[in-house]
Amino acid sequence: MNIASLFEEHAAVMREAAGLSPLLEETAAAMQGCLASGHKILACGNGGSAASAQHFVAELVCRFRDDRRALAAVALTSDTMTMTAIGNDYGYGRVFARQVEAIASPGDILLAISTSGNSPNVVAAAETARTCRCKVVALTGMDGGALAGLADIALKAPSKVVARIQEVHDVCIHALAEALEANAIG
């Protein structure tokens, strides 16, 4: 393993990911409209993507850089009791969809995170969000998988390497948090 090559690969992917800027601006505008209308943002993902979902929600509910009012967001990955009950009774493939069904309202946005775009439970959450008349924003990898086809906006990290995809997702999360915070303050 050559550590320097990891940084070179990261830099190359980030240069290409800069092309996501227009879609990030579109996403920020959609999320600003959602929040301004009294709606909320839901977020889900598995493993590292679950951490990303929780990270994004923490930036909105707490703060990113500046003190401001809390922004309405819920991580569907945080309630262990609910997730394990749903997993036990309905199967792991429904752990997010069932929560979307319970708490989503028309006008909400689901941030669905899957590096492959093919996580069955994240795809099911996106399908349920669509039936609840919520917008779906997908954070995925290179081709977007099945999730991209369900999304109103698909932010596809330009890599097939999970670590690089997650690094792009982190920058996207920070860009969105910064834009939403600036709007809340402004």
Q: For the residues 44-72, what does the mean pLDDT come to?
A: 97
94-120 tens-digit pLDDT = 999 999 999 999 999 999 999 999 999
Model confidence at 186, pLDDT cuts 50, 70, 90, reads confident
* Structure confidence at residue 33 as a pLDDT band (50, 70, 90): very high
Domain count, the chain: 1
Q: pLDDT band for position 184 (50/70/90)?
A: very high
Report pLDDT for 1.
72
**pLDDT tens column, 134-177:** 999 999 999 999 999 999 999 999 999 999 999 999 999 999 99
CATH number at residue 65: 3.40.50.10490
Q: How far lies 49's CA from each of 22, 38, 111, 132, 186, in Å? A: 22, 26, 11, 23, 30
pLDDT of residue 67: 93
- The whole-number pLDDT of residue 141 equals 96
The torsion region of residue 47 among left (phi > 0), alpha (psi -120 to 50) and beta comes to left
What pLDDT is stored for residue 150 in this prediction? 98
User: What is the span of the domain harbouring residue 87?
Assistant: 3-185
- The residue among 118, 111, 124, 120 whose CA lies nearest residue 155 is 111
Per-residue pLDDT band for 43 (boundaries 50, 70, 90) equals very high
Of 48, 2, 45, the residue nearest 166 (C-alpha): 48
- State the Rg of the chain over Cα: 16
Cα gap 132→146, rounded to integer Å = 19
Average pLDDT in the 73-79 region? 97
